[in-house]
Amino acid sequence: IKHYPDTGFYDVSLTITNPITQCKNGFTYDDMVKIFPTPTAEITADASLCYPDSAQLIYTHTIDSSFCTWEFEGAHQSGTGNDTIMMIMDSPKGKAVLTVNEYGCVSLPAEITLKRLPHFDFLTDFEEGCQPYNPEIFADPHDELLNFTWLTDTLPHPVGNSIFYLFPDSGRMDVTLMATSQETGCFDTLTKNEWIWVHPKPVAAFEVDYPVALLEHADITFSNYSEWADYYLWDFGDEETSTEFEPIHTFMQLGDYNSQLFVESEYECKDTAEFSIKILPFTVFTPTAFRPESEIEENKTFMPLGIGADPSQFKLEIYDRWGQIIFETTSP
């Protein structure tokens, strides 16, 4: 039994001697004994990094005769490969164990544990709404032990698994969420560009030509000054309605009417405006004579009586029998 402490190729010689004649013969086998080094399994990868879903693993000391055996925990191998493989990490931490066989010499196993970025998403019930839009957005963790920070325009950034996000303006809006793993310390951000669609809110506005009108002239014209609206519904306050853009409505009864305009856009965004209209009678009585010394109190004063007159347009003129004006006033 021969012990070879060092690696290398060794020649072996054999000599045969005849014990009677003492004749000898022999031969040599070149490189008959080959002593190979036991391989050292070593993996090239940076365990301090936070990888995306995959990481490349390389057997550091590969030679032509290297045969690598890979085993995994929380991960798996993608495709084929021997000394260079792609490891897919199924969990926040993935461990790879490498054993190498070279010329029948088997290494001790080497292992490495790598970290990957958090897996997460976020969602909401409705991705579009009317201005101002205030949806609740929910974090959707695919890993355990994740903390969430919502990267908004305000500081400090809100944290938590959900947020009521206020979008005061119309347009396509971005949303960004950052997740940090308590298990690995890795963090990542997810941005959904133009994810929320905020439709402009229409503005309902109108005027009427006569907010105060007499019943004898109660044809009211409604002027529509609404913006960003596509559909219109008028409620005149007397149980009558219209869908015209600028209707003309005749009130048939005396009273105060709260007329309303309901507008709606093609995206079902709504607004309302209202206007108060008063319909009055016109009944004015003017006495033809009076006597200041009358014993009847009502006859002592000359005063037109009635309702429906516009004080701003009131004018009274009194003439004598010869057509000469003797009194005039603009005050009731």
For each of the chain's 332 residues, which pLDDT tens digit applies?
888 788 888 888 888 988 888 888 988 888 787 888 899 999 999 999 999 999 999 999 999 899 999 999 999 999 999 999 999 999 999 999 999 999 989 999 999 999 999 999 999 999 999 999 999 999 999 999 999 999 998 889 999 999 999 999 999 999 999 999 999 999 999 999 999 999 999 999 999 999 999 888 899 999 999 999 999 999 999 999 999 999 999 999 999 999 999 999 999 999 999 999 999 887 777 787 888 888 888 888 888 777 666 777 788 898 998 999 999 999 87
Identify which of 273, 278, 243 has the alpha carbon closest to the alpha carbon of residue 260: 273
Q: What is the CA radius of gyration of the chain?
A: 49
Q: Tokens at residue 2, please?
A: 């021969």
Identify which of 110, 176, 181 has the alpha carbon closest to the alpha carbon of residue 146: 181
Q: Which amino acid is at 259?
A: S
Strands 8-17, 187-199: parallel, antiparallel or unpaired by DSSP? unpaired
Q: Which amino acid is at 330?
A: T
Q: Which residues pair with 99 in a beta bridge?
A: 69
Q: What's the pTM?
A: 0.70
User: HSE on the CB side for 310, CA within 13 Å?
Assistant: 9
Q: Which residues pair with 273 in a beta bridge?
A: 261
- How crowded is residue 220: how many other Cβ atoms within 10 Å of its Cβ? 21
- How crowded is residue 196: how many other Cβ atoms within 10 Å of its Cβ? 20
Phi, then psi, of 297 in degrees rounded to 5 = -60, -40
Q: What is the DSSP letter of 53?
A: S
User: HSE on the CB side for 19, CA within 13 Å?
Assistant: 0
- How crowded is residue 259: how many other Cβ atoms within 10 Å of its Cβ? 22
Residue matched to tokens 């079902």:
268
Identify which of 115, 117, 114 has the alpha carbon closest to the alpha carbon of residue 146: 117
Residue matched to tokens 């002027």:
223
Identify which of 88, 112, 108 has the alpha carbon closest to the alpha carbon of residue 100: 108
